Structure 1
Amino acid sequence: MASTLTGPALTASRNALSAAMADHPDIEEDSKESGEVQEVNMESQAESIRTVFSDPTNFNVKHPLYSSWTLWFDSPATKGRNLPQTPVSAFPPTPVAQTPGPAAAQGWMEDIKRVISFDSVEEFWGLYNNIVPPSQLPQKANYYLFKEGIIPAWEDEANKNGGKWSIQLPKDKNRGNVDKMWLYTMLAAIGETFDPSLTTADPSSPTPASLITGVIVSTRPQFYRLSIWTRLAPGVSATEEGGLKERIEGVGRHFKYSVLGYPENAKLAGPLATEVEFLSHKDSEKKKGAKKITV
């Protein structure tokens, strides 16, 4: 019977089985000698598989994500300086890779620091548990969590036809909530729940690209801003696919109701606060006539 698992899920299953077989080489040897498929005691094999949930220090199987991700950081303290080590992480810094975007983004990219890349659940928690939370970041600092190979700039090929969902929250009322909101936003991104087309694709067809390219949290003197960047925006891409507006709106609804936890029909706008709003990157450059989508 053919497996119904695809991509990283299939890889994870094979890795787990390989780890179990490595701990029981006698099973494989017996099968080779007899030429027959031996009955496998799955309960016994499962006991040899150690994950971070059962053994936080000596696990032998990791849980892969559907995509690899990179965390970037900048703040006034990093601008114009070639820091030997980023101040927000206990991990050694990852050298900044060659920027894939146009030259227009190069000057800005000199100030942003690449912290680390990861592609598993365990590596994500190792990163998260060793960085400063947003509520403790200095003013005008930003965390950018983007898929590997995509830089957090409008000029990047993956972002230029896209836009962003964002919400602005007053700092004094949300200092105790922003860390949880940022964590849940990151988990939704790496878990591919904002736009689940990537994880629900027909195994027999090419996997469609997720709309999501990255998520950002920004600290400003009087507010926090959380953003979700998409690779497409309604009315921007010449090759716009059917149902794009509905998919974009679905991302916003999931962000507002499931991730941030606001009740349906809640009105959020107020002093220093905004609704959950979508704006294309091209419209962000306009001072007038920008078309926003709200949920």
Structure 2
Amino acid sequence: MATSSLSGAALQASRAALSAALADQPPSTLTSAEEGLEPGEIQEVNMEAQAEGIRTVFSDPTNFNVKHPLYSPWTLWFDSPATKGRNMPQTPVSAFPQTPIPQTPGAAAAQGWMEDIKRVISFDSVEEFWGLYNNIIPPSQLPQKANYYLFKEGIIPAWEDEANKNGGKWSIQLPKDKNRLNVDKMWLYTMLAAIGETFDPSPTDSENGSQSLITGVIVSTRPQFYRLSIWTRLAPSGVDEDGLRERIEGVGKYFKISVLGYPEGAKLAGPLATEVEFLSHKDSEKKGKPKKIVV
């Protein structure tokens, strides 16, 4: 078996993305008589024979018959100056059919801005993620003012979306000339942590209203810098309810240390560079100096 080439942070996130693999098979619907069993007799299962029929992408990269499902489906979006106001014959994501933007209340509110963004493809398995990643241009080769947005399916990458309007974002800005060789790896590790649900390890229970804080991640290219961002569905207020600030800070620390690989106490700000900073979407709209959380 080949040794993984991923480093610690990426390998951890990738393993987390695989954790839901090989879901239990549903019980048989046949009666004991139909299965040839006497009443009360238990059918023996040949586990070795069953295992022989399972081909994962690790054992057969071409003809695998089992996929590793993600906890949530995700959608990749893209925009750049080339996509604004016109359809280009070819884009960095042209290998995939573009699908229309879902008509949610958030999409309607952000309609003007969303006219220029392209919804590329949705996926819900590890195999589909790698198929996508291996067929798109990396951030280091994107044109200026281009953006990749990876958001959970059903959430559009806009403040107006119901899942985003009460949240905020962790972000870091990095000078382009010093990070051109690192940004692709940073973006990959950020995506793996997102789809592997490792940014926010708090339990997710949709029945009780508990959800992962993470709604999406973004990489942006600008003339002189790159920006990586993690969007959250909630942001701390003046009163720390239910440990929300601690959870938010946990996301930022994990992003800085485990994903980007910086020491916990490292100072990163400088010319064109910022610390790993959190800002709520509501504070972003206010005038004056916004209140930021820095890790």
- Shorter-chain TM band: 0.7 to 0.9
Partner of 2:35: 32
Pick the aligned partner of 1:225 from 205, 224, 227. 227
CA distance in 1, matches of 2:163, 2:274: 26
Pick the aligned partner of 2:58 from 39, 47, 53. 53
Give the deviation of 1:86 after TM superposition: 4.4
CA distance in 2, matches of 1:287, 1:77: 32
CA distance in 2, matches of 1:142, 1:160: 20
CA distance in 2, matches of 1:258, 1:10: 22
- Asked if the contact 1:278–1:293 (Cα under 8 Å) also holds between the matched residues in 2, the reply is yes
Q: Does 1:151 align with 2:156?
A: yes
- Asked if the contact 2:148–2:219 (Cα under 8 Å) also holds between the matched residues in 1, the reply is yes
Question: 100-109 or 248-257, which moves further after superposition?
Answer: 100-109
Partner of 2:147: 142
Give the deviation of 1:129 after TM superposition: 0.3
CA distance in 2, matches of 1:219, 1:85: 19
Change (3 A) 1:81 1:28: farther
Change (3 A) 1:188 1:89: farther
Measured against aligned partners, the alpha-carbon deviations of 1:94-123 in whole angstroms (never above 9, x if no partner) come to 233224416431000000000000000010
Partner of 1:190: 195
Change (3 A) 1:124 1:30: farther
Change (3 A) 1:129 1:29: farther
Partner of 1:286: 286
Change (3 A) 1:289 1:10: closer
RMSD of aligned residue pairs (Cα, Å): 2.7
- Asked if the contact 1:12–1:63 (Cα under 8 Å) also holds between the matched residues in 2, the reply is yes
Q: Number of residue pairs matched?
A: 275
CA distance in 2, matches of 1:34, 1:216: 57
Pick the aligned partner of 1:43 from 34, 45, 48. 48
- Asked if the contact 2:80–2:146 (Cα under 8 Å) also holds between the matched residues in 1, the reply is yes
Counterpart of 1:72 in 2: which secondary structure?
Answer: strand
Change (3 A) 1:216 1:157: same
Change (3 A) 1:224 1:55: same
Pick the aligned partner of 1:93 from 95, 98, 101. 98
Gaps of 5+ in 1: 1-7
Measured against aligned partners, the alpha-carbon deviations of 1:253-280 in whole angstroms (never above 9, x if no partner) come to 0000000010120110000000000000
Question: 284-293 or 224-233, which moves further after superposition?
Answer: 284-293
Counterpart of 1:268 in 2: which secondary structure?
Answer: coil
The AA in structure 1 aligned to 2:217 is V
- Asked if the contact 1:89–1:130 (Cα under 8 Å) also holds between the matched residues in 2, the reply is no
Partner of 1:266: 266
Partner of 1:5: none
CA distance in 2, matches of 1:94, 1:120: 19
- Asked if the contact 1:135–1:179 (Cα under 8 Å) also holds between the matched residues in 2, the reply is yes
CA distance in 2, matches of 1:115, 1:29: 49
Measured against aligned partners, the alpha-carbon deviations of 1:43-66 in whole angstroms (never above 9, x if no partner) come to 221121011111111111111100
Partner of 2:109: 104
Counterparts of residues 152-231 of structure 1 (less than 5 Å): 152-198=157-203, 206=208, 208-231=210-233
- Asked if the contact 2:20–2:70 (Cα under 8 Å) also holds between the matched residues in 1, the reply is no
Give the deviation of 1:144 after TM superposition: 0.2
- Asked if the contact 1:86–1:93 (Cα under 8 Å) also holds between the matched residues in 2, the reply is no
- What TM-score does the superposition give when structure 1 sets the normalisation length? 0.86
CA distance in 1, matches of 2:32, 2:59: 28
Counterpart of 2:45 in 1: which secondary structure?
Answer: coil
Change (3 A) 1:175 1:41: same
- What TM-score does the superposition give when structure 2 sets the normalisation length? 0.86
- Aligned-residue identity in percent: 81
